[in-house]
Structure formats: C-alpha cells, structure tokens
Amino acid sequence: MAHILENQLINAAQHIEQQLDQQLDRLESLGTDDLQMIREQRIKEMKELNKKKQEWLANGHGVYTELADEKEFFEVSKKSPNIVCHFYRDSTERCRIVDMHLKILAAKHVEAKFCKVNAEKSPFLTQRLRIKIIPTIALVKDSKTKDFIVGFTDLGNCDDFSTDMLEWRIAQSGAIDYKGDLINPPDAKKSSKSYINRPKKAIRGGYDSDDSDIDFDD
C-alpha cells in the first residue's frame, strides 16, 4: 500500500514538473514581437479600466450616499448597472452598523454604486421590492435585481460581523468584483453556523424589464 502511494506521489510530482517545463518553454519561445504585443495588450486593458473608473467616479461611485427619493433611485439605476442599495430606517440601530461597513466598501469597490434609501420616505419603491425587514440591502447586477440581504441572518446572525463578511455576501450576487473565495465566508470560524452557497432564488419585483413590475422609464 505504501509502495502504491509512493508511486502516486512521484507521478503527481512528475506531472507538475512537466507542466512547469511546458510553461517555461512557452515563455522562452516568445520573441520580441510577442512580448511587445503582450505589453501593448496589457497597456490597452489598463487604459480601458482607468476610463471605466473615471466614468464610475463621475456617476458618484466611490462614496456611500443617501438618495433623496424614489426618482433619484431610478436615475441612479439608469447610470449604474451595478448597485448596492441599503433600505434603512432612522429608528433601527442595525442600520447604522450597515452604514459603517458600506461606507468602507464603497471606497474599495468603485465598480458599483453604494447608496441608501429611507424606506419610510420611499413607500412606493419599498412596496414594489416587497421589503418588509429593515435593514435590507438590494443587490443589482447589470440592471437586474440578483438578491437581497435581509437583516443579519446571512452575515452570521450577529451584530459584530466584519466588513469582509459583508463584502463576501454582496459578492455572491456578482454586483462587485471579488477576488477571494466565494465558497468559504471570512467569518465562518466565529460562528458554528454553516455557510453554504444558496441556490439563486427568483426575486419578485426585480429590475429586469422582462419580469419586473418596475418601469425604469417612468
């Protein structure tokens, strides 16, 4: 048995070594023109990303802001396809916890618009999205509602969850660019709660014009 295991380890090591050799050979075979092409492509990608960032910042990304009313929400929706919107109420203490974390994430993820809406002052929008629990965060990707974070249940069911934990949960919707592990939450060790990737449920009252009762053109 030990002999078989030893052979398997040797074969695995040899396979990895072969892959590394192939990658090195490929790099060594690149000529000056190839390297120049790669460099130019990289520069082009960086310029395009910088242009996008400038557009995002011009549309108010990079800061966590409060929207005055439902009309402003629809205006933001037309300019920013990726939105993280916190529906809050002044009397709810947990909303201030959400504010603290979203302010940090807004500066980190300029690719999405981070904002908040007073649920009591926006009854039409709140009812159409069927928001009944405060705080609730609506997550929009490519102008379509992908998910809702309702209360703190998905964040460990505690008030002291980390900013990283909320970032991970928001990333499940695709509304922000996330380079980390989407399967294992950062705060998993703090709680005995089992976190898993939940199947994407259909959200009623979303932003998709094909299945939504909210019209962006109103």
Contacts of 215 (CB under 8 A, 6+ apart): 209
Provide, rounded to the nearest whole percent, the portion of the chain with pLDDT above 90.
44
CB 139 within 8 A of CB 149: yes
The DSSP H or E segment spanning 66 is strand 65-66
What pLDDT does 42 receive? 75
Nearest by Cα to 169 from 184, 158, 191:
184
Task: Using the predicted structure, report yes or no on whether residue 201 has a pLDDT greater than 50.
Answer: no
Distance CA 58, CA 211 (A): 30
Is the predicted pLDDT of residue 59 greater than 60, yes or no? yes
Task: State how far the Cα of 6 lies from the Cα of 98, in Å rounded to an integer.
Answer: 52
Domains of the chain: 56-190 (3.40.30.10)
Which amino acid belongs to residue 74? Answer: F
Residue 218: per-residue pLDDT: 37
- Scan for tokens 């900013």, then name that residue: 163
Q: What is the mean pLDDT of residues 181-194?
A: 69
Instruction: Give the mean pLDDT of 63-80.
Output: 90
pLDDT digits (tens, 9 = 90+) for 152-187: 999 999 999 999 999 999 999 999 999 888 888 887
